[in-house]
Amino acid sequence: MSFSVTILPSGRQFSMQRDATVLSAAISDNVGLPYGCKDGACGSCKCKLIEGRVIHGVHQAKALSEEEEAAGWMLTCCATPQTDLVIESRQVVSAGDFPIQKMPTRVISLTLASHDVMVMRLQLPTNNTFGFRAGQYIEFILKDGHRRSYSMANALSTATTTVEGAAPITSIELHLRHMPGGKFTDQVFGTMKEKEILRLEGPYGTFFLREDSSKPIVLLASGTGFAPIKAIIEHMRAKDITRPTVLYWGCRSRADLYLNDWIEQAAFDLPWLTYVPVLSEPKAGDDWTGRVGLVHHAVMDDLPDLSGHEVYACGAPVMVQVAQRDFVNLHGLPAEFFFADAFTSEADKAHNPK
C-alpha cells in the first residue's frame, strides 16, 4: 500500500510504502529531512505530525517521550505510516548531489591520536565518484550485517592524498574512540592492519554548513564530535568562507584534546576563526589555565545573546540536547538555527528503549 507524505512549510511531497520508515523513503526520494543516527536514539529527526497516523518502532524515550508523542511529535527514522501524512519540518534541506553508495575501502593508515582515539584514513576505489558534504557520515557494514557510523573528519576539497611512490588517491579521515568491548573499535585498536579491506555506505546526514547565510557561527563539539567540525572548518577554508566563527571544544582532560595543535594552527592561520577549549575535569598534571566546566556554559558566558547566530553542535547526545534547550530558551537562539549531530553508541541505542 502506498501513502503520500507532504512536508510543511516547503510543500514538498513524496510517496512511500507502508512498511518503510518516513526517513528511509525520504532519503530514497532525495528529500533532505533532518536526521542523525537513524536509530531512534538521538532525536535529530523529530518533527510535528500535522495530519495522519504513524506507528513508531523501537526508540529511546530521550529522543521522543510519551508526552511528546501524545502531543503530536514523531521520529521520522522509526515511524511507519498508516495513512497519508502531513508533517512539519522546519529544517527541510536539499539532500545534495551526492547519492548514497556502497563500496569497498582500504585502510591507508591508523594513527593513535590519544590513548583512546584513532585517526583512520581510508582509500576509496580509484574509479569511484563518492562525494560528501563536510559534516556528513558513513556507515561501516560489518561481516555480520551490523553497522557502525562515523563522521568524515575532512572536507571533500582535502580528500586527495598523496602516498609515497604512488599516484594521488581519494581518501577520507575518521576519528574513532575506543569503546572497550565494542565489536568494531576493539578490532580497530587491536587486530586491524593497514591495507585491510572494509565495506562502507554513505554519505548520510544533514549536518553541514548552511552557506546561504551570513550569520556568525558557533561550532560546539565534545570529544570526537570534533571530527565533523574539523571537516566544516576545512571546507570553509577551501571555499574562502570568512563568516566570524568560534569553536568551543569540550573534553574531560588535556589529553582528550587529541588534535589541539591542528586547531590552534588553524585558528592562527584563519583570522575569522577563534578557538576556545574547555575542560570539565582537568588533571593535576595538565597545568591547565584555560576554561573549566561544561562546554555549552562557556558559550553562554561569552555570548549571552545568540539571537543573531547559527550554532553547529556535535558530540554526546546529552550535551547537544542541553545546549539546544539552553541556547533557545535562555539565550535567544532561534530554534531553526541550531544544527546538530548527536553521536550515539550501541549502548545509547540499547539503553531504555520503548
Sheet arrangement for strand 273-279: 291-292, 273-279, 245-251, 217-222, 310-315, 338-342
Higher per-residue pLDDT: 126 or 305: 305
pLDDT digits (tens, 9 = 90+) for 215-274: 999 999 999 999 999 999 999 999 999 999 999 999 999 999 999 999 999 999 999 999
Torsion of CA 29, 31, 35, 38, to 10 degrees: -10
Give 21-36 as a DSSP string.
-HHHHHHHTTEE---S
> What does DSSP assign to residue 223?
G
Q: Quick check: 272 and 299 in contact, CB under 8 A?
A: no
Domains and CATH numbers, the chain: 2-94 (3.10.20.30), 101-204 (2.40.30.10), 217-348 (3.40.50.80)
Lookup: cell for 71: 502531543
Residue 6's pLDDT is what? 95
**Position 120 pLDDT exceeds 80:** yes
Helix 226-238 with 260-269: angle, nearest 10 deg: 30
- As a whole number of angstroms, the distance between CA 263 and CA 277 comes to 10
Owner of C-alpha cell 588517491: 169
Q: Which of 66, 69, 80, 74 is nearest to 22 (CA)?
A: 80
Report the predicted TM-score, pTM, of the whole model to 2 decimal places: 0.87
Q: Quick check: 123 and 105 in contact, CB under 8 A?
A: yes
- As a whole number of angstroms, the distance between CA 309 and CA 295 comes to 17
To the nearest whole number, what is the mean pLDDT of the chain?
A: 91
pLDDT digits (tens, 9 = 90+) for 21-68: 999 999 888 888 888 878 888 888 899 999 999 999 999 888 899 999
Predicted confidence band at 206 (pLDDT cuts at 50, 70, 90)?
A: confident
